[in-house]
């Protein structure tokens, strides 16, 4: 697991969340958002830091929309 | 036992640390600082309604159907924290339910799924009316329209006793809301708060993904307070005797008393009530002291932490100080592991059990837990190589925060603290394989028998 390079630019804006019951581990999110999502050995997402940097917000939105079981979501971070 | 009637002892005489300027009412401080177990010290048996009312009087129920802020203030001032595992401030929980719109629901968690704990069972046996008072008071505090008491299907006697207690209160007309008693499947995660909510809503007693959390949208879609039975029993006393009395036991940052279950290598295992902040070593002494030199202590329960014995005995039993030592109060469980027993084998057995208890809804728990349990079995029973240890550490590190409930987090904590506390044993296994302790008699009471896959979730 390599540290992500974009960590410095993370803002308090959005958090990536997963409904772990709904998620069936196909890993589409890791394909669309490799900067934030890795997969474990069974194909389930690992998110080391849920904060979404501003420059990845569009990609994150795309991944959320692409999740086939609506398990991925973007939450507004609380101040 | 020929004790002075504890009600006649002013709290100030029996306690050293006044921490509040509020008036101190004389509360039910019994022998050895007992409050919840006071009745037991007085009579040696369960307290029926008449005895209960004789000792404590009626619960001071506030008027009306609206939430009762003075009671919530009292609980906040008292500093009561949940006794179901997470030690979350109870006053804050009451407030967040009370502040939501519409009538709320109270769920009383008497499930006690932790196999190494007997404190809730003991409390419900000895002082059922304290728990039921606390339930009624919590319901009044948050403005609830329904109270549900959840009990495990495996304890038929307890269910009968509580049904009888509820009926007796009904006849005496002392509760505004009838407590509804429910009997649920008894699995490790069927007692998690969202499992209770889901079951009460007609579903399976398996955890649900959050948000919404129960306080937002729980039973019947209502704001729902879920509290442990012991938490509510303390609340029943705070409502009567006030926060200053509550704080006259324990310590400023860890006020009150708490129930603990001590087992393993102690002379007389059992349930005790201790002031929070009592050093773990002193708690073991209450159980007759170690029956054998100790190697380690499991603190908290199956979700708990292993601490080396010499460190554990010095740690005060409070959330902050246990956290500083890498542990937590959990369900108030202490298991003493004697020298010669194998902490790795003990841990492997518990992990096996926890893996089998997974609700198998979330991938990381469903696949990760059995994999960690299997790795641990290989470590405990054989000569692990570097590959196994790397894989095990990586898998343990990937469990927390990746389930709908905190089941994998608890299992991860147990495994990680075992690897740290029994590091010498791990090295021994790597060089020479297991020692004779690995095949000795088990110390931790891991239930056998059918699991959720056979018994189902409804
Ligand atoms: C897997 C799991 C099992 C739990 N089992 C129990 C239990 O048996 N009894 C209990 O009171 N709380 C249990 N809890 C904690 C409850 O979810 C909930 O936090 C608690 O009942 C709240 O009460 P408290 O604030 O009074 O502690 C469990 C939590 C988890 C994650
Ligand atoms: S795309 Fe959705 S279902 Fe697939 S792994 Fe990601 S979160 Fe899970
Ligand atoms: S984390 Fe495990 S026990 Fe908890 S809900 Fe998911 S599968 Fe069930």
**pLDDT tens profile B48-93:** 999 999 999 999 998 877 888 999 999 999 999 999 999 999 999 9
Average pLDDT over residues B314-326: 97
How much distance in Å is there from the Cα of B185 to the middle of ligand 1?
15
Residues B414 and B287: their CA atoms lie apart, in Å, by 24
Assess whether pLDDT exceeds 50 at residue B2.
no
Torsion angle, alpha carbons of B408, B410, B411, B415, to 10:
130
| Residue B102 CB neighbours (<10 A) | 9
Domain B343-447 maps to which CATH number in 3.40.640.10, 1.20.1440.230, 1.10.760.10, 3.60.20.10? 1.20.1440.230
How much distance in Å is there from the Cα of B400 to the middle of ligand 3?
11
Residues B206 and B195: their CA atoms lie apart, in Å, by 5
Assess whether pLDDT exceeds 90 at residue A66.
yes
Question: Is the omega angle on the peptide bond into residue B212 within 30 degrees of 0, that is, cis?
Answer: yes
Instruction: With beta carbons under 8 A apart, name residues in chain A contacting B209.
Output: 19-22
Q: Sign of the C-alpha dihedral, residues B268, B269, B275, B276?
A: positive
Assess whether pLDDT exceeds 70 at residue B7.
no
Domain boundaries, chain B: 16-21+28-247, 343-447
Q: Please report the ipTM that was assigned to this predicted complex.
A: 0.86
Q: What angle do CA B31, B32, B37 make, to 5 degrees?
A: 70
Supply the pLDDT for residue B214: 97
- pLDDT, one tens digit per residue, over B227-252 is 999 999 999 999 999 999 999 999 99
Contact A62, A32 (CB under 8 A): yes
Supply the pLDDT for residue B20: 38
Assess whether pLDDT exceeds 70 at residue B4.
no
Contacts of B158 (CB under 8 A, 6+ apart): B110, B121, B124, B125, B151, B152
pTM score of the predicted model: 0.92
Q: How far is A49 from chain B (nearest CA, A)?
A: 11
Q: Which residues line ligand 1 (CB under 6 A)?
A: B 82-86, 88, 90, 109, 111-114, 188-189, 191-193, 226-228, 231, 405-407
| Residue B50 CB neighbours (<10 A) | 11
Confidence of residue B188 (pLDDT cuts 50, 70, 90): very high
Torsion angle, alpha carbons of B65, B67, B70, B75, to 10:
120
Q: What angle do CA B202, B205, B207 make, to 5 degrees?
A: 115
Supply the pLDDT for residue B26: 64
Residues in chain B: 458
Express as a percent the part of chain B with pLDDT over 90.
84
Confidence of residue A12 (pLDDT cuts 50, 70, 90): low
Kindly state the DSSP code that residue A4 receives in the 8-state scheme. Answer: P
Assess whether pLDDT exceeds 70 at residue B25.
no
Confidence of residue A7 (pLDDT cuts 50, 70, 90): very low
Find out if CATH 3.40.50.11540 is the number for domain B16-21+28-247. yes
Average pLDDT over residues A64-73: 96
Kindly state the DSSP code that residue B38 receives in the 8-state scheme. Answer: H
How many A/B residue pairs have CB atoms within 8 Å? 36
Average pLDDT over residues A27-55: 95
Residues B98 and B70: their CA atoms lie apart, in Å, by 12
Q: How crowded is the C-beta side of B324, counted as CA atoms within 13 Å?
A: 8
Supply the pLDDT for residue B11: 32
């Amino acid at each position: 697991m390599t540290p992500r390079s974009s960590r410095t630019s993370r803002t308090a804006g959005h958090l990536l969340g997963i409904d772990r019951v709904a998620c069936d581990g196909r890993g589409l999110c890791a394909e669309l958002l490799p900067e934030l999502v890795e997969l474990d050995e069974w194909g389930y997402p690992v998110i080391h830091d849920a904060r979404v940097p501003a420059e990845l917000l569009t990609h994150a939105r795309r991944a959320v929309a692409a999740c086939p079981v609506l398990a991925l979501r973007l939450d507004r971070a609380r101040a | 036992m020929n004790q002075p009637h504890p009600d006649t002892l002013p709290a100030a005489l029996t306690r050293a640390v006044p921490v509040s300027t509020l008036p101190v009412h004389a509360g039910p401080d019994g022998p050895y600082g007992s409050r919840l177990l006071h009745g037991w010290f007085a009579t040696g048996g369960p307290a029926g309604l008449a005895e209960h009312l004789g000792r404590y009087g009626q619960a001071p129920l506030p008027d009306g159907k609206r939430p009762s802020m003075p009671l919530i203030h009292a609980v906040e001032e008292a500093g009561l924290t949940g006794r179901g595992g997470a030690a979350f401030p109870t006053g804050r929980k009451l407030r967040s339910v009370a502040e939501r719109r519409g009538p709320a629901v109270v769920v009383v968690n008497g499930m006690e799924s932790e196999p190494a704990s007997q404190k809730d069972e003991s409390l419900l046996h000895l002082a059922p009316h304290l728990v039921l008072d606390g339930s009624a008071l919590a319901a009044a505090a948050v403005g609830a329209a329904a109270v549900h008491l959840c009990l495990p299907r495996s304890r038929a006697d307890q269910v009968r006793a509580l049904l009888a207690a509820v009926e007796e209160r009904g006849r005496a007309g002392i509760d505004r809301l009838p407590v509804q008693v429910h009997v649920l499947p008894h699995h490790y995660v069927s007692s998690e708060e969202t499992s209770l909510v889901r079951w009460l809503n007609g579903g399976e007693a398996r955890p649900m993904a959050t948000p919404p959390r129960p306080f937002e949208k729980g039973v019947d879609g209502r704001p729902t307070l879920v509290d442990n039975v012991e938490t509510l029993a303390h609340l029943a006393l705070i409502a009567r005797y006030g926060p200053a009395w509550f704080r006259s036991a324990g310590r400023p940052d860890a006020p009150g008393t708490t129930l603990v279950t001590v087992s393993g290598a102690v002379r007389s295992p059992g349930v005790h009530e201790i002031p929070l902040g009592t050093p773990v070593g002193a708690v073991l002494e209450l159980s007759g002291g170690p029956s054998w030199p100790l190697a380690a202590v499991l603190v908290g329960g199956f979700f708990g932490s292993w601490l080396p014995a010499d460190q554990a005995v010095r740690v005060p039993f409070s959330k902050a100080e246990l956290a500083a030592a890498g542990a937590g109060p959990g369900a108030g469980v202490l298991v003493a592991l004697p020298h010669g027993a194998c902490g790795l084998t003990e841990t492997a057995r518990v992990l096996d059990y926890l893996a089998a208890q997974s609700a198998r809804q979330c991938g990381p728990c469903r696949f990760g837990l059995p994999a960690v349990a299997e790795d641990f079995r290989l470590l405990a029973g054989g000569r692990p190589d570097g590959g196994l240890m790397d894989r095990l550490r990586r898998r343990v590190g990937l469990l927390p925060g990746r389930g709908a409930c905190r089941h994998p987090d608890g299992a991860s904590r147990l495994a990680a603290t075992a690897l740290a506390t029994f590091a010498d044993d791990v090295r021994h296994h790597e060089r020479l394989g297991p020692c004779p302790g690995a095949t000795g008699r088990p110390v931790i009471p891991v239930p056998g028998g059918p699991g959720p896959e056979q018994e189902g979730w409804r």
